Amino acid sequence: MSANSKPFPRVTAKTLLEYKAEGRKIVSLTAYDAIYAAIEEEAGVDLLLIGDSAGNVIAGHTTTIPMTMDAMLFLTRCVARGSRKAMIVADMPFGTFQVSTEDTVLNAIRFMKEGGAQGVKLEGAGYLLDTIRRLVEVGIPVMGHVGLTPQKVNIYGGFPVQGQTEREAEQIEADAKALQGAGVFSLVLEKIPANLAAKITKQLSIPTIGIGSGPDCDGQILVNYDLLGMIEKFKPKFVRRYLEGARLIREAVSKWADDVRTGRYPTSEESY
Ligand code: KIV
């Protein structure tokens, strides 16, 4: 063993299973770069997700569909370089896990080897179960994702709450159990009724991580830019802003612009 090779200095899939068993809530947040990754894990985040929500918040698209393997790999590397403690999970973008098991395994391996991730997340169940079993067999921790799966935006025609009819709720519950059976280490429950999320959470031995799915999940995840108030145009019901980031940044930049225009910046102390 080399000097810096303490095998698991990070939170791992196993740690998160232990948290569920202890009843300790899991704190997850998205990150897309090294600086946010470092700040978020210093603040106590257990799991950093490089979400394909980067399509919206980083790339400025209206959906996650255009995100590519190259773009997600770049962001994953950035987060990995900024992080030492949290578990890093890379979200597999649309088109990189739907085609075949072979493709998916190769792409997931790239996230682990080139990106520095400790696991991948993929949206959906059903046809993906065999692929997920294969990923786990080769040593790749997989986070599942059911309920609202934003990569299906073109089927939904938007981002509606899922699981509101009995049939939909039964399907989500069945998918959750099947994903646990296939070996996922945790499961994102997005935008489903709180009572359905609570029921699923009680039945699973793996942790559920909720987003817009009520308080009874084993953990919560948010898009960091939502939590920090960076997106002013739109605030989903489930988002709580802990900072008015956009306003504060605008005010800071505008003060600096004013100082530049009036000659107050830079001073002689700020010059060489
Ligand atoms: O892409 C994303 O950011 C996500 C989460 C918010 C769960 O999938």
Q: Which of 36, 149, 223 to mutate to test the pocket of ligand 1 (most atoms within 8 A of CB)?
A: 223
Global pTM exceeds 0.85: yes
Give pLDDT, residue 6: 59
Please indicate whether residue 48, judged by its CB atom, sits closer than 6 Å to ligand 1: no
Give pLDDT, residue 1: 46
Q: Which of 41, 123, 173, 190 is catalytic?
A: 190
Please indicate whether residue 192, judged by its CB atom, sits closer than 6 Å to ligand 1: no
- Which residue's CA is minimally distant from atom 4 of ligand 1? 51
Give pLDDT, residue 9: 82
Give pLDDT, residue 2: 54
* Of the candidates 120, 114, 45, 36, the residue with the CA atom closest to the CA atom of residue 82: 36
Give pLDDT tens digits for 242-269.
999 999 999 999 999 999 999 999 999 9
Please indicate whether residue 122, judged by its CB atom, sits closer than 6 Å to ligand 1: no
**Tokens, residue 52:** 């394909």
**Is 228 in contact with 245 (CB distance < 8 Å)?**
yes
CA distance 208 to 176: 9
CA distance 44 to 54: 22
Residue 198 C-alpha to ligand 1 middle, in angstroms? 20
Please indicate whether residue 93, judged by its CB atom, sits closer than 6 Å to ligand 1: no
CA distance 243 to 231: 11
> Which H helix or E strand runs over 152?
none
**Is 89 in contact with 50 (CB distance < 8 Å)?**
yes
Q: Is the peptide bond before 160 cis (omega within 30 degrees of 0)?
A: no
Please indicate whether residue 123, judged by its CB atom, sits closer than 6 Å to ligand 1: no
Give pLDDT, residue 7: 52
Residues of the chain with pLDDT under 50: 1
Q: For residue 93, what are the contacts with CB-CB under 8 A and spacing of at least 6?
A: 52, 55, 64, 67, 68, 69, 71, 72, 151
Q: Within 10 Å of residue 237's Cβ, how many Cβ atoms?
A: 7
190 is catalytic: yes
Reply yes or no on domain 13-241 having CATH 3.40.250.10. no
Please indicate whether residue 226, judged by its CB atom, sits closer than 6 Å to ligand 1: no
Residue 51 C-alpha to ligand 1 middle, in angstroms? 5
Residue 5 C-alpha to ligand 1 middle, in angstroms? 31
Residue 52 C-alpha to ligand 1 middle, in angstroms? 6
Give pLDDT, residue 209: 98
- Which residue's CA is minimally distant from atom 2 of ligand 1? 51
**Tokens, residue 149:** 């799966």
CA distance 57 to 40: 17
Domain parsing of the chain, residue ranges: 13-241, 245-272
* Of the candidates 132, 134, 151, 201, the residue with the CA atom closest to the CA atom of residue 172: 201
Please indicate whether residue 51, judged by its CB atom, sits closer than 6 Å to ligand 1: yes
Give pLDDT, residue 245: 98
